[in-house]
Amino acid sequence: MNPATSAALRVPPPGFELRRATPAHCGALAGFYRSFEPKGASLGLPPHKDPGRWLATLAPYPNFLVFSKGRIVAHAVLCPEGDAGEVAVFVGQEHRGRGLGRCLLTQLVDEARRLGLRRIWGLTEFDNIPMRRLARSLGFTAAEDPYEFTLDLQEAAAIPRAA
């Protein structure tokens, strides 16, 4: 992959802005999830009720947001534990298919490398073909658990390191 392509993976498409979440974003992020459809789309996430409580458990971890016209339209989080970390990516239904998931998942890979993690993994419904296809395109492989996809960061070549 050439450097221009690598950089493009990390930048949202025109009309969208990527930001690291801060405590000031909590209310807007809870609002994003209150209107998120379908509710509980992937293994019960986002939660049907009280997304604020769920988001409070994610607050200590690296969270990234994508904005459009001042509104949050996508969210991703990396939850490290030891030398591994779980990733989760959520894109609002009306903004899917525009490269936001790719941008966010690439950010999570970069963050995991920055933190010195050796492996990251995520879970999704077996029939979430777009997420499975995205993960595979970035070098993730299927795990023994049919819901899990994983990336060994020591061997990952699909996503070059950030410049």
The pTM of this model reads 0.87
Q: Given this model, what pLDDT does residue 3 score?
A: 41
Say what the alpha-carbon torsion angle 12, 34, 128, 107 is, to the nearest 10 degrees. Answer: 30
Domains present along the chain, CATH in parentheses: 3-152 (3.40.630.30)
Backbone angles phi, psi at 150, to 5 degrees: -140, 155
Return the SS3 of 120: strand
Interatomic CA distance for residues 29 and 65, integer angstroms: 9
Taking residue 163's Cβ as centre, other Cβ atoms within 10 Å add up to 7
Average pLDDT, 10 consecutive residues per value, the chain (163 residues): 50 93 93 77 70 91 97 97 96 94 96 96 90 93 90 74 58
DSSP, residue by residue, 46-85: S-SS-HHHHHHHHTTS-EEEEEETTEEEEEEEEEEETTEE
Q: Given this model, what pLDDT does residue 2 score?
A: 40
